Chains A and B, each alone.
Chain A
């Protein structure tokens, strides 16, 4: 992404409490969950920014006391052929953020996967079910406190 375009994006988002950083050369917006819906709709719908595609919603467990969880959204602009990331840090005890399904329909499964693996809840998601693990499973496997070998008897097996 060239500097001019980055400046344009920065100028459109001056109203919000955000920081700019980068992920190995690709710009990233660091923000909190409150304004995420407005920021995303600006990024998507403004014709000279136009990030039409949401490619992925990735959850990260940073395993620290405050703001333990982080969600990284990967956006792509078909018109300008570049990417931007949005990093949202979430609360430790109750990781929750608004769902992006209202803006990109594709967020549906990505958020379900993040919920399944890390237990991050998405408010306003139409169908927040587990996607890989069984629905009655109680743990979130990708959290750092989940042991690599799994928890014995956490999955109900058929009786002999």
Chain B
């Protein structure tokens, strides 16, 4: 086969014949031919320290030439035993640990966890607290989707949009700095509300961000969406059927890119999502490109939600008025005896929910993030099970990658957008 190509080249252009590379190819020293290499199956180990695997995901890939025959994911390199730790910490003490689950959107995890605990102890948060939490969740969603967008296109080879995405994400971190006092691991929520009220400065920062962000998002889309390389490398790659998605219990953008309209914000509204007007983007192609579009459109919807939240947010209390369950304000703890006793009791003995169990789930940026809590009446959970979307979504990797090329692996991982902190718990 090669000979015919070279002969053709030789006949067409005598100049090429003289180039060094063709001479090297024509020489007899090159004993390995393509046909030999294709006959052998090769097992390739990707990770856990591979830059494109988004953390410490390890994949064992069985290759036939460049085509993937089988993939076996290997998890557990970031297993820290958070479910075991939770059993030894009080309900409040576990909030900082939730930051480390899905570390791309720590603030949204804080919200998800406290909602679960409040459901267990039947505590209602005031309206303002709910609005603040909704703002936090949506900022977290944008933060996470920006990383998903940036790393996915970077894996394809476009470095500039990644830097733009990081620049926008940095602005969100600056908002967290004002809102929570911390840029990254926020630990912002408390059982019954949030750590501190949202200030005018933070509101101004969010307003500025949501006014500017659509312009920058359009820039990011313009550079990518009409780029032929991007389209060719994502369209039709990583296809999975709708039936398989449902059978594997997949949630989040991957499910919505497969034509299933399931969003807990609409189906089972928590916080104030039932009072807000937003759409759920659904695509039917179920490939990497569709997942990309779902995430981009979700960011646009998040901006819409943030606009409405800032408009509708009432004034008033942001923490529930229940001294036995909710931590008092710090300045009052230092000056008032009653508050000091409450603080001491909650910190030392916990919130002591009634005996029973509870499951609560929210729609995080990756899918359904749920917490199953079983309580025996003590201050720490008897059992806390984290239903992490990244873990469930990773299960379909072998299906997505089957019969793809080796270069598609990084694109597919980018489109699934796993976070190993959450998958490994």
With A and B bound together, what is the CA distance between A30 and B248 in angstroms? 24
Tell me the A120-136 residues at the B interface (CB within 8 Å).
130-134
B249–A117 CB distance below 8 A: no
Q: Chain A, interface size: which category?
A: 35 or more
User: Does A36 reach chain B (CB closer than 8 Å)?
Assistant: no
A105–B244 CB distance below 8 A: yes
User: Does A72 reach chain B (CB closer than 8 Å)?
Assistant: yes
| Residue in A105, A109, A130, A142 whose CB lies within 8 Å of B247 | A105
Tell me the A53-71 residues at the B interface (CB within 8 Å).
53-56, 58, 60-61
With A and B bound together, what is the CA distance between A78 and B268 in angstroms? 12
B359–A108 CB distance below 8 A: no
Measured CB to CB, the closest approach of chain B to A145, in angstroms, equals 12
Q: Which of the segments B198-206, B294-302, B306-314, B368-376 contacts the partner chain?
A: B368-376
With A and B bound together, what is the CA distance between A60 and B387 in angstroms? 14
Given contacts A81-B267, A132-B75, contact A58 B372 (CB under 8 A): yes
Give A105's nearest chain B residue, CB to CB: B247
Residues of B within 8 A of A134 (CB): 76
A132–B76 CB distance below 8 A: yes
Give A134's nearest chain B residue, CB to CB: B76
A23–B359 CB distance below 8 A: yes
Interface size on B, residues (CB 8 A): 39
Interface code A23-46, partner B: CB below 8 Å = 1, 0 otherwise? 110100000000000000000000
B368–A52 CB distance below 8 A: no
Q: Which of the segments B2-10, B41-49, B79-87, B187-195 contacts the partner chain?
A: B79-87
B383–A60 CB distance below 8 A: yes
B262–A24 CB distance below 8 A: no
| Residue in B85, B247, B357 whose CB lies within 8 Å of A23 | B357
Centre residue among A52, A109, A110 by max chain B CB count within 10 A: A109
User: Does B246 reach chain A (CB closer than 8 Å)?
Assistant: yes
With A and B bound together, what is the CA distance between A52 and B262 in angstroms? 13
User: Does B356 reach chain A (CB closer than 8 Å)?
Assistant: yes
User: Does A141 reach chain B (CB closer than 8 Å)?
Assistant: yes
Measured CB to CB, the closest approach of chain B to A64, in angstroms, equals 11
A-B contact pairs, 25 of them (CB 8 A): A23-B357, A23-B359, A53-B249, A55-B249, A55-B387, A55-B392, A56-B249, A60-B383, A74-B359, A76-B249, A78-B260, A83-B359, A85-B359, A104-B247, A104-B249, A105-B244, A105-B247, A106-B249, A106-B250, A106-B395, A130-B76, A131-B76, A132-B425, A133-B79, A141-B84
Listed from nearest, the 5 A-B pairs whose CB atoms lie closest are: A132-B76, A106-B249, A106-B248, A24-B358, A132-B79
